[in-house]
Amino acid sequence: MLFLALVLVSCTSSDDSGATGDSDTGTDPACFADAPTAVIGTGETDFESLADGDTVYMQHGAQGGEHILGSLRVWHMSQIVTVHYTIAREDDGSLVSDQTFRVAMIEEPDCAYMYPGMYGYLGLTSEYTQTLQNTNVILNMDATDSDGRSASDSVGVLIGQDAPT
């Protein structure tokens, strides 16, 4: 019995206030006290910030298609998140990509999670995908965690003509 009590005590973390949990991560109940927020970015393996007016580039996939990479950072949400990622033309609002992902996000400090490299599929390389170059689009991500909390973000970007080498 004493052994079990020692194991339980050693598995519980606390700070000087006696509270349990890790205040730097999304597992701390205090992380859910604030409203959820989301920021959309880009990047294949790391989150890269985007601002309105930035240029993004189509990526050519191994199976002959084109896509635009989207990444998401959220605060005050659980780790398991469903992300609805859309890309719409700015001029007429028509959708050019509509994807849904359910992901286990990567934990970061300060009640945040991040997930890079979600594909906004544009279709097989064709005259259509080539006409999207030099087009202004809106990247949008709506995130809902496994507990029903949600946050969204959008950014207006230009699809560049040629990716930098």
pLDDT in tens, 60-110: 888 888 999 999 999 999 999 999 999 999 999 999 999 999 999 999 999
CATH entry 1.10.760.10 includes domain 28-159: no
- The per-residue DSSP string of 25-60 comes to STTSGGGGSSPPEEEEEE-SSS-EE--TT-EE--EE
pLDDT at 109: 93
Q: What is the average per-residue pLDDT within 42-66?
A: 93
| DSSP state letter for 148 | S
- The per-residue DSSP string of 96-147 comes to EEEEEEEEEPEEETTTEEEEEEEEEEEEESSHHHHHTTT-EEEEEEEEEETT
pLDDT in tens, 121-147: 998 888 888 899 999 999 999 999 999
pLDDT at 60: 86
pLDDT at 132: 93
pLDDT at 27: 62
pLDDT at 17: 35
Q: Calculate the dihedral angle through the C-alpha atoms of 28, 102, 151, 32, rounding to the nearest 10 degrees.
A: -10
- For residue 148, pLDDT beyond 70: yes
pLDDT at 87: 98
pLDDT at 77: 96
Q: Which amino acid is at 70?
A: G
Segments making up each domain of the chain, as ranges: 28-159
State the Cα–Cα distance between residues 161 and 74, nearest whole angstrom. 30
pLDDT at 103: 97
**How high does pLDDT run on average in the chain?**
85
Only one residue has tokens 């490299």, namely: 117
